[in-house]
Amino acid sequence: MTAADWGWRLLVIAAVVALLWWLLQYFSGVAVPLAVAVLLAALLSPLNSVLRKWRWPAALAAAGSLLAMVLVIVGVFVAIGAQVARELPELIDQSVVAAGTVIAWLASGPLHIDQAQLDGYLQQLTTWVNDSRAELAGLAASAGVRVGHFLAGLAIALIASFFFLASGRKIWTSTVSLVPEHYRVPTLRASDRGWGSLVAYMRAQVLVALVDALGILIGALALQLPMAWALFALTFVTAFVPVVGAVLAGTVATALALVTHGPVSALIMLGITILVMQAEGHFLQPILLGRAVSLHPLAVLIGLAVGATLAGIVGALLVIPVLAFSVAFIRGLDPSRFDGSLRAELPE
């Protein structure tokens, strides 16, 4: 009888989870930007709280927090852009020399590909491009639509972040009012604990991104690669997307090493990238994020794998915050386990 009772309860839970998953996929154009907005609000929550303590109005504090984030991002990219513009001409010259070296190696190396064969491959590529113009145009149009969706999602995320920072407590209290009255106080208490865990997660994620970026920067400076600080900025920004971000930044760094210093430096940079990726995947994220959100490192590692399998990059990005909030929320429902740690109230 007990097994039967547990069986139908598990079936109901599975059905509810499946329904929620379908709804999230169907409304992903709104659900993903809102999830990103929650993460941005958690990231900016400490700054927003400081501005509130300085008696800034709620709307002004929220706008100031978002503006500070935008100014930092723009300032970094302007500084990096100046470095890129300054070093780009020399990099182009080095790329031309490297291309000539590769062509010479193809002709004299073990492959013995002469100029006539290279010209033939180039002609085949040109013919394929000419014959595939319609397909390429379709891909370009599809990419344009995706860019439009991305910009629309970004606008939703920024606007939602503003309202979460300005009146997150009021929004959540209104939502909790739909819960039966005798459950409201435990729900608010648990949500405060969940929010605190989410804020701690974002702080730890910033630290992980910083360590990744420093690892790539040290390797680039040791190898005397151009645009080392540009690589630092690229790694820091992309590190918020687990695994994929480190691969992208490492690929760019390895390509720069190959073009400017040859295959030996490229192999060294590749080794540094792999070391950074291994440190991120097997040490930084499981240990630092696990401590921040009170999850076992193995749970973090498995969560990343499951999230990436189910929803790709978006799943890997969101699975640990969802776990962090959910676990802290469930623990917060039990008053005997609520000690006030990881507590960070939503903005009023």
Residue listed under structure tokens 């010259």: 93
Q: For residue 43, give both structure tokens.
A: 């990231």
* Mean pLDDT on 202-221: 86
The contacts of residue 71 (CB under 8 Å, 6+ apart) are: none
Q: Is the pTM of this model over 0.95?
A: no
**pLDDT of 114 over the 70 cut:** no
Closest CA to 300 of 243, 236, 216, 215: 243
Helix axes 181-222, 28-53, angle to 10 degrees: 90
Burial class (CB in 10 A: 0-12, 13-18, 19+), 84: middle
* Mean pLDDT on 140-169: 82
pLDDT in tens, 326-340: 888 888 776 655 454
* Mean pLDDT on 240-266: 78
Q: According to the model, what pLDDT value does residue 345 have?
A: 54
Closest CA to 267 of 277, 258, 256, 276: 258
CA dist., res. 34 & res. 268, Å (int):
41
CA dist., res. 62 & res. 56, Å (int):
9
In the chain, DSSP finds a helix count (H) and a strand count (E) of 11, 0
Residue listed under structure tokens 């113009």: 133
Q: According to the model, what pLDDT value does residue 60 have?
A: 93
Closest CA to 273 of 238, 313, 319, 318: 238
With pLDDT > 70 as the criterion, what percentage of the chain qualifies? 73
**pLDDT of 32 over the 80 cut:** yes
Q: According to the model, what pLDDT value does residue 65 have?
A: 92
Neighbouring C-beta atoms of residue 297, cutoff 10 Å: 16
CA dist., res. 290 & res. 222, Å (int):
32
Taking the C-alpha atoms of 41, 290, 249 and 35 in order, what is their torsion angle to the nearest 10 degrees?
-30
Q: According to the model, what pLDDT value does residue 228 have?
A: 82
Question: In Å, what is the CA distance from 292 to each residue of 197, 334, 343?
Answer: 7, 20, 12
Mean confidence (pLDDT) of the chain: 77
Closest CA to 318 of 12, 9, 17, 24: 24
Contact 332, 192 (CB under 8 A): yes
**pLDDT of 116 over the 70 cut:** no
pLDDT in tens, 161-207: 999 999 888 888 888 888 788 878 888 888 888 888 888 888 888 88
The contacts of residue 323 (CB under 8 Å, 6+ apart) are: 293, 295, 299, 300, 303
Q: Hey, where are the domains in the chain?
A: 28-167, 179-340
Q: According to the model, what pLDDT value does residue 109 have?
A: 59
